[in-house]
Amino acid sequence: MLTNDFTLDAKSISRLSSRGLSLKTLKDQLSEELELSIELWKAQGLHVVKHQGYYYFDTKFIPIQEAEFCIVDIETNGSKIEKHQIIELAAVKVKNGQIIDRFESLVYAQEINPHITDITGISVADTKNAPLLKDVLMRFKLFLGNAIFVAHDVKFDYSFISKSLQKIGLEPLLNRSLCSLALAERTVVSYRYALSYLNETLKLNPKARHHRAMSDVITTYGLFLLSLDNLDESIKTVENLIKFSKEAPRLKRPKFDPLLALKDEEKEE
Q: Does pTM surpass 0.85?
A: yes
Percentage of residues in the chain having pLDDT higher than 70:
95
pLDDT of 264 reads: 59
Could you count the other beta carbons within 10 Å of the beta carbon of residue 211? 18
261 or 165, greater pLDDT: 165
Give the pLDDT of residue 263: 64
pLDDT (mean) for 132-150:
98
pLDDT one-digit tens code per residue, 7-19 = 788 999 999 999 9
Maximum pairwise Cα distance, the chain: 71
Q: What is the pLDDT of residue 266?
A: 55
Measure the CA–CA gap between 159 and 154, rounded to whole angstroms: 8
Position 121 scores a pLDDT of 96
Residue 255 to residues 50, 57, 181, 259, Cα–Cα distance (Å): 48, 40, 19, 12
Domains and CATH numbers, the chain: 10-60 (no CATH), 64-247 (3.30.420.10)
**What SS3 state is found at 5?**
coil
Give the mean pLDDT of 233-251.
Answer: 98
149 contacts 175 by C-beta, under 8 angstroms: yes
**Whole-number pLDDT of residue 31:** 83
- Say what percent of the chain tops pLDDT 90: 90
**What is the pLDDT confidence band of residue 259, given thresholds at 50, 70 and 90?**
confident
Supply the pLDDT for residue 77.
97
Mean pLDDT, the chain, rounded, equals: 94
The whole-angstrom separation of Cα 127 and Cα 105 is: 10
pLDDT at res. 2 = 44
Cα pseudo-dihedral 207, 208, 212, 213, rounded to 10: 90
- pLDDT, position 267: 56
Q: So what's the pLDDT on residue 8? A: 87
The answer, yes or no, to whether residue 1 has pLDDT greater than 60, is no
pLDDT at position 265? 58
Q: Are 3 and 162 in contact (CB under 8 A)?
A: yes
